[in-house]
Structure 1
């Protein structure tokens, strides 16, 4: 950077920085190599932030700004040298509040000293000057020239992290502050090559690009399914889309507010109860604009809470702003572009909220209002997001936060909302407000995933469907509150295949509780049993309805959505294995611990269901993991064999390097085709204290399909045979 920090005065690194450099890591992945090839200098290893942060209470984007200057490389020697340099910078120039007097002394003794601190500015009307306050240094009334304030107006609202040269000159005039601002540089990127960004995007597949964005947020993409990744990226839409209104309610600890406090210098996170009309919109006393006039994103943390006191005037002006992008100041109407984000915790399960109230149940009374909620463009189902665990963080390469923040900011001027119309058409009865919500979400996801506009119909359909679902979740809850609002058939028409309805995941999981005026209009309010009875004899009903009773088992196919719960081998497989004594499981990938656990879950169910005095033969046909010199797969399967034998399961393994498809065949005449084999569950937590560790029904599944085929085997006398191994 042009205004580089001078380390010639730096003293030895102090003991406060005790974090060691990251451990020796495995060789970079192919994706990491590709990232460094096409975005050299704009990416950083995401585990480095922890290595340099120490006890500095500073946003990640500040640390990544420094790492981007000195450690944006895939060369280990350069990285280690960069880490050491950033540590020295923090040790010498970051101001700790409990050491503010020491820093003041350095400024006085040296006359001029560079610091890293959060700077906010106010206008002193009496003296007609701007004055800066330094959050950690604890000094104020530092005069700032008008040109600096004009160039960096965010200092007027909320403050900005800066590199500052502060000088000291004592005056006999008690009214004159001895502190002088020599120079100020906000910690953010000044320019970037957008055309180069688009050209580099074209070098990545969609899956690779999504994984790069997930690593840029700081997460390991291997820990997330496709839907989970997209929900994480929806959190970024407010940064790339003007006046986007987003809500996320869910359990604690899922990282709802992290992105808005750490990801971008253009976002402001405030507590839901700490904002006023003057602070958020405009101060009528002095005409100063509030947060919405200077920040791209204003996020309200801890927004939920039924008993929270709220300012009705604030709610009213917020309604108008969210709908019309404007607010009134006396007789004058002002406009702004800030997106609004509302995040909060839920205290009840989804079925509980659906049965007793609605999915906005936790909001304060003033915000639990159809007119306010109808302004929301998307509802992120926070209950689908896994609680953050240490193993979910990435040590791969991602964009330096400040770089991607500037990219997203630059795309706020673009509109991709019509890019789906070449292939799809929204339903004709979708209202203008519903359509706006869908369009803004779709446009935001297009900018994030396909900024180069090279997306095929399947890729466009994926994000269009998610955009429709997010708005539908909002509208369905409003319909539960206000029966006078007309229902809407949410979906879109494929110009080739016709109408495609869209449902929410909780609607599929809990159809009996998800009854709304709209669902009754659509004819979707029938119970699971009613729908099952209407199913075609050759087709299994929708996945959310479960598997029919054993006496009415039917051939057919089921599809399950990612993040769906309530699925288990007990209901999915066991009914089709009744009456069998010989079972063959064909699955080429039973080698990792969680895959072995899935196999054990199935064998345990078979052991419980069989007659105690009988034995069942189970053969696993799989591939050998020849890449593991420690032979952990063989040891695992050998242990399972011994354990199963004690409970009447004769478990054997057959090796076949040619297999690919996954299936289960039983001697009762049923064959089950498994798209993902037994590996249908997301990895989740490995803690024995997590209920989902012990009950499959509590785990989230990956997206998968399953097909049931009836294979009647006849004996030599022409009669069909069935061995009574597993009880019904």
Structure 2
């Protein structure tokens, strides 16, 4: 061993009796058929000292115990013989039990002795019922009783006593918490890493962070995680070697009875017996019933599962680890990072959504002996006991009023990242009375968001587009919001693979302008009607119709599966080339917009039958219409969040009016515009759109927020008004009748929010906005509405633009300020 360093000496002083030299544990690893924590249990009993003489004496005892009580291959008959000759033999082994229904008695199993019909009392089984759900390591006193052999026809062995391999000290956590105060953050990080066998100096800060993320399921109830990556990076190490509160399910079938509850006996399964259940080599795991994955999915969501009419709650976390056959870049090129999962889980985005964190196993180096520590660390079973007791505590109070998640996180996203932050803080600051610095809170938030974002990006690659088009971010105090990304995804997007693209992908990238029909075709197609399709039909030999989504004045919209791209999309089929051409220029501009609150436009084309179509993302959600009419209700904060989402969308499509005016003045001045300024002016003019038909039917509520869709009649800002279209209840009474401007969109958002907050009531009599009319005070319908929110609605719905907000940015800032004032409802 290397000489004691400063951390060794500090740890020995603070945690005397709870430490063990980790290189001693390593020297037993592989020599005896037991996990590392079994050896450490004995080392902790006899070698928890830094005194060289005591250490040597204790080590000799441990070696003797391991030699005398563990059964190596080929020694089975020797131990059986000792039991017969001596009457009793003590062994350290995995102890399992089962109910023999025919004999109405329990039978124990000791795998290393290859014995499966050992007599054991019901009292012992009931006192240690984990032996019924996969078993646990214990010191077992095994008796040989000749009379039993004669009475039972050859089963003479009986378990006389059981001593579990674990240190269940009630004051373990108090000792742990008190000792933590004597260490700096970096010292504590290093001690924890040494305690699970690693030498911190061999790992980068990033690699250490992944190792800490592996520990989170041990301190947070019902925490679900996945780690996939190359072989040899120690993914299953914690779950197999470090804690008796974890259970490793190796590749093969997992039964519902073993995992959840045995209906025949009523005994609870692994998730109720262990803090963490880890599926190793997860690609080979399957359930004995087709309902197994659904039961697991439900449990991962709620922490409950049903047994008949009874709902059973358990707090075991689910962790899945497995190997890539290739590196992460190749895995992304081939599909997505859930590829190695079992087929029942691989493409199930609903299952993936229950996963709180996807750990990047590829960021941990392949381990060789140099990565394992030769210094002191906590005895594994003491550490496991402290972690298990930490599960009953929470550090979520640290987040209150300090950490704010971005608006785009869904409910499941927030649950996931809150759990991860809670776990990381508990690991490093276990004392609830200890302050956590802002920088440390930012570290936890960023790591939590990265682990969750990785889940959502794979869901997006599988085909559920709404999952990936969100910016997961956080803000601490007055600091600016920070968006978190996954490095491997950024690199994948930048990497030029050299692989051939699909025709659709080439069209998407090669042209910023959608294809334009021939003028003659446009002229002669007016009044035509496109073919009507039903579910099951295939459009243009590639788009299978799944359902009909809706029908407008000059198009039908279908939900389709694109057999070429293997994605689910929305396909708008235009009745005529004229109908398509009328919106082509505006939709082409919209393609340049990538925003989570705006429907994404992919490409347009013409079928072999000569019909024009547009392909957009398929949005899985519900229309806002029933809420705006008062048939259903949103809480005030939810309604405000919908309006904020739509205003965010408008900020993305509306022009930067102030910058345009600035460039316009310079353009007409003496010096004119530079080449770069002229390009900027052209781009601003080109991108500026007015939706013109914002209304509840054109807003969809999804799990990631509200989305604005149907840009059929969108126009460029400044374009002449040629048609009076849109929906009258949402049209501003003073709409500019010569040139389109942003005012009509902002008025419509105000009316929509008014209806959401006032149970479907309109701000104008008869739902007809007229110049000269006053806005009905919203407190007429909602006396409990906060005054500042009521005032904002009156301003947003005012009949004259001079009284309303002038830009989406201004309106959003005002509404956001009201929202942060603890909106009622």
TM value normalised by structure 2 = 0.58
Aligned-pair CA distance for 1:519? 11
Q: How far apart are the structure 2 equivalents of 1:97 and 1:519? A: 66
**Is this contact kept in 2: 1:52–1:83, CA < 8 A?**
no
Q: Which residue of 297, 307, 315 corresponds with 1:329?
A: 307
* Matched position secondary structure for 2:93: strand
Deviation at 1:378, TM superposition (A): 0.2
Secondary structure of the structure 2 residue equivalent to 1:161: strand
Aligned with residue 218 of structure 1, among 197, 209, 217: 197
How far does residue 471 in structure 1 lie from its aligned partner after superposition?
0.5
Match of 2:291 in 1: 313
Larger deviation, residues 79-88 vs 119-128: 119-128
Compute the displacement of 1:495 (Å).
Answer: 2.2
1:182 aligned onto 2:160: yes
Shift of 1:522: 6.1
Deviation per residue, 1:582-624 (Å, 9 max, x gap): xxxxxxxxxxxxxxxxxxxxxxxxxxxxxxxxxxxxxxxxxxx
Q: Which residue of 1 aligns with 2:112?
A: 136
Of 499, 508, 516, the match for 2:481 = 499
Equivalent residues of 1:304, 1:346 under 8 A apart? no
Q: Is the 8 A contact 1:354 1:513 kept in 2?
A: no
Question: Do the aligned partners of residues 483 and 69 (structure 1) sit closer, same or farther apart at CA in structure 2, a change above 3 Å counting?
Answer: closer
Secondary structure of 1:448's aligned partner: helix
The within-5 A match list for 1:530-541 is none
Larger radius of gyration between Structure 1 and Structure 2: 2
Matched, 1:428 2:407: yes
Q: Is the 8 A contact 1:418 1:439 kept in 2?
A: no
For 1:398, the equivalent position in structure 2 comes to 377
Q: Is contact 2:223–2:318 with CA below 8 Å preserved after alignment?
A: yes
Kindly indicate whether residue 125 of structure 2 is the aligned counterpart of residue 146 of structure 1.
no
How many angstroms does 1:241 deviate by? Answer: 1.1
Q: Shift of residue 336 of structure 1?
A: 1.5
For 1:233, the equivalent position in structure 2 comes to 212
Alpha-carbon offset, residue 484 of structure 1 = 5.0
Pick aligned residue for 2:54 from 75, 78, 82: 78
Pick from 433, 449, 472: which aligns with 1:468? 449
Q: Does residue 9 of structure 2 align to residue 33 of structure 1?
A: yes
Q: Is the 8 A contact 2:227 2:358 kept in 1?
A: yes
Does residue 1:294 correspond to 2:273, yes or no?
yes
Name which of 472, 479, 488 aligns with 1:490.
472
Is residue 259 from structure 1 mapped to residue 238 from structure 2 by the alignment?
A: yes
Q: Check conservation: 1:297, 1:339, Cα contact below 8 A.
A: yes
Most deviating of 400-409 and 490-499: 490-499
Contact 1:61 1:262 in 2 (8 A): yes
Q: Residues of 1 paired with 2:195 and 2:151: CA distance? A: 51
Moved more, 483-492 or 213-222: 483-492
The change in CA–CA distance for 1:311 and 1:505 in structure 2 (over 3 A counts) is: farther
Q: C-alpha displacement at 1:143, in angstroms?
A: 2.8
Give the unaligned 5+ runs of structure 2.
497-504, 506-566, 570-591, 601-825
* Long gaps (5+) in structure 1: 1-24, 526-728
Contact 2:94/2:137 (8 A) holds in 1:
yes
Greater alpha carbon shift after TM alignment, 483-492 vs 227-236: 483-492
Which stretch shifts more, 292-301 or 504-513? 504-513
- What whole-Å deviation, never above 9, does each CA across 1:605-663 have from its counterpart, x for those lacking one? xxxxxxxxxxxxxxxxxxxxxxxxxxxxxxxxxxxxxxxxxxxxxxxxxxxxxxxxxxx
CA distance in 1, matches of 2:288, 2:349: 16
TM alignment of 1:650-689, pairs within 5 A? none
Q: CA deviation at 1:163?
A: 1.1
> In the alignment, which residue of structure 2 is the partner of 1:718?
none
The CA distance in 1 between the partners of 2:379 and 2:104, in whole Å, is: 39
Instruction: For residues 94-122 of structure 1, give each alpha carbon's deviation from its aligned partner in whole angstroms, at most 9, with x where no partner exists.
Output: 22342121111211111222222221111
Matches within 5 A, 1:558-569: none
Question: Secondary structure at the residue paired with 1:461?
Answer: helix
In structure 1, distance between residues paired with 2:594 and 2:336:
17
Which whole-Å CA distance do the structure 1 matches of 2:479 and 2:242 have between them? 41
Matched, 1:481 2:462: yes
* Secondary structure of 2:283's aligned partner: coil
The alignment partner of 2:151 has SS state of: coil
What is the deviation of 1:403? 0.4
Q: Aligned pair 1:341/2:319, yes or no?
A: yes
> Whose relative contact order is higher, 1 or 2, with alpha carbons under 8 Å and at least 6 apart?
1
Please report how far the alpha carbon of residue 126 of structure 1 lies from its aligned counterpart in structure 2 after TM superposition.
Answer: 2.8
Q: Which residue pairs with 1:363 in the alignment?
A: 341
- Decide whether aligned partners of structure 1 residues 109 and 364 sit closer, same or farther in structure 2, where only a CA change above 3 A counts: closer
Equivalent residues, number: 500
Q: Retained in 2: the 8 A contact 1:112–1:165? A: yes
Per-residue CA shift, 1:392-414, capped at 9, x if unaligned?
Answer: 11101111100000000011111
Distance 2:60 2:70 in 1: 15
Between Structure 1 and Structure 2, the one with more helix by share is 2
1:545 alignment partner in structure 2? none
Mapped partners of 1:57, 1:459: distance in 2? 41
Matched, 1:381 2:360: yes
- The answer as to whether partners of 1:420 and 1:464 remain within 8 angstroms in 2 is no
Paired residue secondary structure (2:391): helix
Structure 2 distance, partners of 1:310, 1:251, is 28
Task: Provide TM-score, normalisation by structure 1.
Answer: 0.65
Query: Could you tell me which residue of structure 2 aligns to residue 67 of structure 1?
Result: 43
Q: What is the SS of the residue equivalent to 2:112? A: coil
Distance 2:325 2:155 in 1: 51
User: How far apart, in 2, do the equivalents of 1:177 and 1:519 lie?
Assistant: 76
| Matched residue SS, 1:131 | strand
Whether 1:456 aligns to 2:429 is no
Report the Cα offset of residue 239 of structure 1: 1.3
1:575-594 paired onto structure 2 within 5 Å: none
CA RMSD of aligned residues (A): 2.6
User: Which 10-residue stretch deviates more, 390-399 or 175-184?
Assistant: 175-184
The CA distance in 2 between the partners of 1:519 and 1:434, in whole Å, is: 25
Instruction: Tell whether 2:595 aligns with 1:521.
Output: yes
Task: Provide the C-alpha distance between the structure 1 equivalents of 2:30 and 2:249, rounded to a whole number of angstroms.
Answer: 25
Deviation at residue 348 of structure 1 after TM alignment: 2.9
Correspondence for 2:174 among 192, 195, 209: 195
Residue 268 (structure 1) aligned with residue 250 (structure 2): no
SS in 2 for 1:327: strand
Cα distance in 1 between the residues matched to 2:485 and 2:55? 47
Distance 1:348 1:176 in 2: 52
